[in-house]
Amino acid sequence: MPSARLSVVVTRRLPEPVETRMRELFDVRLRETDAPMTREELARAVKQTDVLVPTLSDRIDASLIAQAGDRLKLIANYGAGVDHIDVGTARQHGILVSNTPGVSADDTADMTMALILSVTRRLPEGLAVMQTGNWGGWSPTALLGGRIAGRRLGILGMGRIGQAVARRAAAFGMQVHYHNRRRLRPEIEESLQATYWESLDQMVARMDVISINCPHTPSTFHLMNARRLKLMKPEAVIVNTSRGEVIDENALTRMLRAGEIAGAGLDVYEHGADINPRLRELKNVVLLPHMGSATVEGRIEMGEKVIINIKTFDDGHRPPDQVVPSML
């Protein structure tokens, strides 16, 4: 007699190929709408399933995990970041946590370069002129931006995404610099043409562009605080495709409004969708709705990693992308 299939609850709509494959493999309960689950729905889900598949919009904290009982055994996160999951508490309750690292590095790096170009070349302003029908033709002095070749790019966080940004920036002729928790091996530095700065303050003060590519952890919260933002050159710009909490958003807004920083390109925000309304008013700011990993290919690959993690767990083995507290 065949064994019962693993029970899986998915908290958000996923790409159709991913949902189809999950139906084939598991006793899966898929989300009918793309609205995030309420707290009450999440509480019911953790009590009724073997595996929960959340996304970054779901807060899986200690209080929620305490309600899970004995059935929930795996939290297979759809995404690389796990700062919305209390991994330590999950492990104390015997619940494994997995994620999907490495999938979105190239997609996010592409978006980082898109934001750098958008801010320095004033693309949104050009689009606005065309969409309002106010373009009167070419002019030698209209909407002058800046050339990125030769500019110093300071990358904060040199993991998979940071290195992917470095490769793209070098191809654009930018000078690549970086600050990281650990210095890269010499051969990697050489291949990326990257210069290491032990002091983040010293790097920030000398860069033309700052790119945030580090995860959100207790040590990176407001890493770019008001004091450090003030170290930036007035003509410099900052881009964030990582986690909004790394930048003090209110301090950044004040400095952009005062002209103390030339511009910003943001795909993530400190308080999620609750964005500082004053940011929306600024012409020197490009705001995107968390699109960094939003490619069809990337989202399907993320789903495939989730499925592999669940299937490996179901076969009695450790998920290949298991997250442990020491990794955070």
Is residue 163 domain-shared with residue 252, that is, in the same domain?
yes
Give residue 325's pLDDT band: very low, low, confident or very high (50, 70, 90).
confident
Is residue 99 domain-shared with residue 110, that is, in the same domain?
no
Categorise residue 122: left if φ over 0, alpha if ψ from -120 to 50, beta otherwise: left
Find the length of the chain: 328
Per-residue pLDDT tens over the stretch 12-43? 999 999 999 999 999 999 999 999 999 999 99
Is residue 128 domain-shared with residue 263, that is, in the same domain?
yes
Is residue 123 domain-shared with residue 246, that is, in the same domain?
yes
226 occurs within a structural domain: yes
2 occurs within a structural domain: no
Is residue 162 domain-shared with residue 267, that is, in the same domain?
yes
Q: State the total domains in the chain.
A: 2
216 occurs within a structural domain: yes
24 occurs within a structural domain: yes
247 occurs within a structural domain: yes
Is residue 95 domain-shared with residue 114, that is, in the same domain?
no
Evaluate if residue 217 carries a pLDDT over 90: no
CATH number of the domain at 50, please. Answer: 3.40.50.720
Range of the domain at 98: 7-103+296-327
197 occurs within a structural domain: yes
What's the rounded Cα separation, in Å, for the pair 317 and 112? 37
Is residue 150 domain-shared with residue 91, that is, in the same domain?
no
Is residue 257 domain-shared with residue 129, that is, in the same domain?
yes
What is the rounded average pLDDT for all residues in the chain?
A: 95
pLDDT of residue 1: 40
Is residue 128 domain-shared with residue 217, that is, in the same domain?
yes
Is residue 249 domain-shared with residue 122, that is, in the same domain?
yes
Evaluate if residue 283 carries a pLDDT over 70: yes
Cα 251 to Cα 180, 247, 276, 278: the distances in Å are: 23, 8, 11, 12
User: pTM, whole model, 2 decimals?
Assistant: 0.90
pLDDT of residue 81: 87
Is residue 197 domain-shared with residue 129, that is, in the same domain?
yes
Is residue 211 domain-shared with residue 272, that is, in the same domain?
yes
Give the dihedral sign, CA 151/167/181/240: positive
1 occurs within a structural domain: no
- Strand pairing category for 74-76 and 96-98: parallel
